[in-house]
Amino acid sequence: FKTAVICNLNETHIERGGAIAESCQQKLFKILISHAEELNLKFLDINKIIENKEDLSKYGLLAAIQPPEKIIRLLSAMPHKTIMVNRYFENMSFVSTNHRQAVFDAVDYMLCRCPASSQLFYLDWKTESFVSRERREGFIDACSRHKCFYRICKFHSSDHEVNYKILSELPIEKDS
């Protein structure tokens, strides 16, 4: 095989996507894995690489999907044939979603179709990351373009009762 896809085959990387994201990602992996041979791909499990049970030098291209630090250190010795997926590292190629533009496009599309009196809330997590900042900025950019007032609401990642309370206390005005 010329190309190896390095991923965790025992997990679904859903982070906060819920059942829909899990279902879509599982289907995508099943499709890719079922056609791996004809696509000249081999899927390598992260854990086997960490255990030194896989020789990466025999592959012409390595695509690493959100690899852990141990794998990143290993791949940093082969930057000429490594592509990181949704991870950014100096001197390594990567492919990624432009989260800011994606959220801007989605919100802009919706705002073009909503009444001017629409109430806008951006639901976010308390934990900050590059991706969460980019998505929030895309939302703010679209609201600014349309001169819309909005509120940002931050959730706790694991406390559902607190999150429900936050949602129930949002100042939503009902149409009369």
3-class DSSP state of 14: coil
> Can you say whether residue 16 is alpha, beta or left, with left for phi > 0 and alpha for psi between -120 and 50 degrees?
alpha
- Residue 55 phi/psi, 5-degree rounding, is -90, 110
pLDDT at site 16: 42
Q: How far is CA 125 from CA 72, 92, 129, 136, 156, in A?
A: 27, 29, 9, 10, 6
- Comparison of pLDDT for 12 and 167, the residue scoring more: 167
Distance CA 65, CA 126 (A): 25
Q: Give the DSSP H or E segment for 146.
A: none
Distance CA 134, CA 122 (A): 13
- Given a cut of 90, whether residue 110 has pLDDT beyond it is yes
pLDDT tens figures, 135-157: 999 999 999 999 999 988 888 76
Count the helices and strands in the chain (H runs, E runs).
6, 7
* Most confident segment among 52-66, 77-91, 133-147: 133-147
Closest CA relative to residue 147, chosen from 175, 112, 122, 174: 112
Residue labelled with tokens 């607190």: 162
